[in-house]
């Protein structure tokens, strides 16, 4: 089984972001970037499949500027075999939309013919969570999103829902899976693997070379910080609560 994993270079999870002066984007200058945490989980899952001898090859793919190659190196250091870097100068946190990403990945999948595609459930900059589903739809293959556990032998996936988990059965491969938090705990990149990763291959090509026509993205009107969280208040009794919910919060 060949596995294709998508990895995205995003603002590091621990960084406190700031809004850019023109309020059209997040300020990325001098900000620490790393691999999207859900992509890390996706890579980990793929590497474990290889270790369990269920997968023969793990290919990591990333879309982004020159520095995305670093993200691919990280995937290689975790155990991926080779990388594909689709270069672009568009901002991957807002200019390159989910549908465009899905189209690019679909084209890559066409060329690589993977049996399984594992993506993170969402990226922590865009938070759209659409790419996986859109990709499956473009490729006309089954999708198992928010996966907490994937069983390739039984062809089932335990997926997260708002109320708990459910087990779904997928008809077969190829299929798209998106990784949720509980799928696994990603490994550290060990030194020997980091060194080995330097010798692994990364193929780079631009979106134009790939021959993909991008969809129009969303237009960002404004980026602003959420209002600061206000302190809670105490209410006298149930009537007071109902009154506040109705007249102040307007939720009932």
Partner 1 sequence: MNSRKLTLLYQRIRVHNKYQQQQERRRHYCSIERVKKLSAQFRRIASECGEDVEATVLEPDLKGGDASLDKYTTCWRGKWGVKGGEGRGNIVLRPSTTECVRGFVELCNKEGAKVVPQGGNTGLVGGGVPEGYDEVVLSTVRLNSVMSLDSSTSVITLSSGVILSDAIRHCADLGMLYPVDIGSKGTCNVGGNVSSNAGGIYFTRFGSIRDNLVGLTAVTGRGDVLEVGGCAMRKDSKGMDLRQVFVGGEGAFGIITMVKMRVWKKPTTREVAVVGVGGWEEVERLCERAQERMGGLVSAVEVMDRRVLELVKEKVGGGGMGWVGGARYYVLVETMGFDDERDRETLERFLEEVMEEGTVEDGVMAKGEEEIEAIWGVRESCGVAVNRAGGSWKYDVSLELRDWEEVGRMVEEKVRGLGGRLVIWGHLGDRNVHFNVVREKEDGGEGSDITDAIEPWLYEEVIRRGGSVSAEHGIGQCKGDLMEELIVGEAGMEYLRGIKQLFDPNHILNVGRNKTFRERDK
Binding mask 191-210 for partner 1 (x = CB under 8 A): xx-xx---------------
Say whether residue 6 binds partner 1 (CB under 8 A).
no
Check: CB of residue 94 under 8 Å from CB of residue 213.
Answer: no
In the numeric block, which tokens belong to residue 45?
């899952």
Q: At closest approach, how far in Å is the CB of 21 from partner 1?
A: 15
Which CB, 30 or 161, lies closer to partner 1? 30
Q: What is the CA radius of gyration of the chain?
A: 20
Q: Which of 153, 185, 222, 239: binder of partner 1 (CB under 8 A)?
A: 185
Residues 167, 144 contacting (CB under 8 angstroms)? no
12 near partner 1 (CB under 8 A): yes
Q: Name the residue nearer to partner 1 (CB basis): 1 or 17.
A: 17
Largest CA distance in the chain: 69
Structure tokens at 55: 């997968």
Rounded CA-CA distance 121/144 in Å is 10
Minimum CB separation of residue 30 from partner 1 in Å reads 4
Among the residue ranges 30-38, 134-142, 200-208, 211-219, the one whose residues contact partner 1 (CB under 8 A)? 30-38
Residue 20, interface with partner 1 (CB under 8 A)? no
In angstroms, rounded to a whole number, what is the distance separating the alpha carbons of residues 208 and 86?
Answer: 9
Dihedral of the CA atoms 48, 51, 52, 53 (nearest 10)?
A: 130
Shortest Cβ 158–partner 1 spacing (Å): 22
Alpha-carbon 122 to chain mean position? 4
For residue 119, give the nearest of 198, 54, 59 by alpha carbon. 59
Choose one: 56-64, 66-74, 125-133, 231-239; the region binding partner 1 (CB under 8 A): 66-74
Task: Kindly give the interhelix angle for 68-78 and 37-51, rounded to the nearest 10 degrees.
Answer: 30
- Asked if 5 is part of the footprint of partner 1 (rule: CB under 8 A), the reply reads no
User: Could you tell me if 125 and 93 are in contact, meaning their C-beta atoms sit under 8 angstroms apart?
Assistant: yes
Q: Smallest distance, Å, CB 125 to partner 1?
A: 14
What backbone torsions phi and psi does residue 194 show, to the nearest 5 degrees?
Answer: -65, -40
DSSP annotation of 92: T
Q: Is 53 in the site for partner 1 (CB under 8 A)?
A: no
Tell me which of 20, 51, 56, 67 binds partner 1, using CB under 8 A: 67
Residue from 20, 23, 24, 31 that binds partner 1 (CB under 8 A)? 31
Single out the segment in contact with partner 1 by CB under 8 A; choices: 34-42, 93-101, 162-170, 205-213.
34-42
40 near partner 1, judged by CB under 8 A: yes
| Residues at the contact surface with partner 1, assessed by CB under 8 A | 12-16, 30-32, 34-35, 37, 40, 67, 70, 74, 185-192, 194-195
């Amino acid at each position: 089984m060949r596995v294709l994993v998508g990895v995205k270079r995003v603002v590091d999870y621990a960084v406190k972001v700031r809004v850019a002066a023109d309020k059209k984007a997040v300020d990325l200058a001098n900000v620490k970037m790393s691999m999207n945490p859900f992509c890390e989980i996706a890579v980990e899952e793929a590497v474990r499949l290889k270790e369990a001898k269920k997968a023969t090859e793990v290919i990591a793919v990333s879309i982004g500027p020159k520095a995305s190659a670093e993200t691919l190196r990280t995937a290689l250091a975790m155990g991926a075999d080779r990388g594909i870097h689709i270069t672009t100068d568009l901002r991957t946190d807002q200019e390159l939309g989910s549908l465009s990403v899905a189209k690019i990945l679909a084209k890559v999948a066409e060329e690589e013919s993977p049996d399984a595609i594992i993506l993170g459930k969402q990226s922590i900059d865009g938070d759209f969570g659409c790419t996986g589903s859109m990709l499956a739809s473009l490729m006309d293959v089954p999708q198992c999103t928010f996966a907490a556990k994937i069983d390739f032998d039984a062809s089932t996936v335990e997926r997260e829902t708002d109320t708990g988990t459910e087990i779904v059965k997928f008809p077969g491969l190829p299929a798209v899976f998106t990784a949720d938090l509980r799928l696994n705990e990603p490994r550290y990149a060990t030194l020997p693997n980091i060194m080995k990763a330097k010798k692994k291959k990364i193929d780079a090509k631009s979106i134009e070379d790939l021959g993909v026509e991008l969809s129009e993205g969303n237009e960002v009107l404004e980026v602003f910080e959420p209002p600061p969280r206000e302190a809670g208040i105490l209410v006298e009794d149930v009537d007071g609560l109902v009154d506040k919910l109705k007249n102040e919060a307007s939720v009932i």
